[in-house]
Amino acid sequence: MNKSKLSIFGIGFLALVITIVSCNNGDEDPIIETPAAGSVDITSVVQASYTNGVTISTGNGSITLTSNGTPNHVSAYWGEGHPLYEVNPTGVNPGIIRERTNIMTIPTNPVSASVKEVTALGAIGMSLNGVPIYNDREGGNVPLDPMVLEHFERAGAHVGPSGYHYHVNGDFTTKDDANLVGFLRDGFPIYGRKCVSGVYPSDLDENGGHTSTTADFPTAIYHYHCSNTNYLNLGVYILKAGSYHGTKGTYVQ
């Protein structure tokens, strides 16, 4: 190899190096994009999922759901003589199911909140049949105890001063499955104890949720799962305890 051939080779090699370096600078490695906060619009799933006469209106970045708060299934709380009345072998609280307007307003694109607000007494979400979802507490902000649980019928619900509501899993919401139960006040959906794949999620955060795709959302979205802890060994599972992941909207009962 003479001197001129050597220098041509050298220039060629240098050009190749420059090309590789510039390619590396210009093209980023493909990355799996984590959806930006608030990028998942829940409107179409909300519209497709609610039943039992729940009305849905949208506007100004929010969705308003209105129900009469009554279930579309049997319950001891309908009272004797009602076509959907069913005896609860372990008894009931005083109180009967009555229509009561429930209005929940949630964001169309729910986002994670920087400060997580603890759920309080009262409605924390609305199940797909318009019955409100409550957390793991009762009046006086005390945890549900065996006496209270005894009066939940197989729907995992009872009547309190604010009407009929679900606290735990049951025959008409979710048992040991991946059912969509409803949406909480921050706009994020809540599912049963299992993932869509049929396994129990192992990566839930302290608020009982994680971000992944679901049967309803092909784009990954934060969602809650019903607790997978056998509460007080009584064979029931709390739907939702602890804090909201996002910022809660209003719920008027």
Q: How many binding residues for Zn ion (CB under 5 A)?
A: 3
| Residue number, 110 or 201, with CB nearest to Zn ion | 201
Which residue among 45, 123, 195, 239 contacts Zn ion (CB under 5 A)? 195
- Contacts (Cβ under 8 Å, ≥6 apart) of 94: 159
Contacts by 150-153 with C-beta closer than 8 Å and gap 24+?
150/90, 150/91, 151/88, 151/90, 151/91, 151/92, 151/93, 152/236, 153/75, 153/76, 153/77, 153/86, 153/88, 153/92
| Residue number, 59 or 94, with CB nearest to Zn ion | 94
Is 122 a binding residue for Zn ion by CB under 5 A? The answer is: no
Is 124 a binding residue for Zn ion by CB under 5 A? The answer is: no
Residues 133-162 that bind Zn ion (CB under 5 A): 160
| Residue number, 46 or 238, with CB nearest to Zn ion | 238
Q: Which residue is nearest to Zn ion (CB)?
A: 160
Question: How far apart are CB 148 and Zn ion at their closest, in Å?
Answer: 7
DSSP codes, 3-63: HHHHHHHHHHHHHHHHHHHHHHHHSPPP--PPPPTT----HHHHHHH--TT-EEEEETTEE
| Residue number, 73 or 194, with CB nearest to Zn ion | 194
Question: How far apart are CB 196 and Zn ion at their closest, in Å?
Answer: 7
Interaction site with Zn ion (CB under 5 A):
160, 195, 201
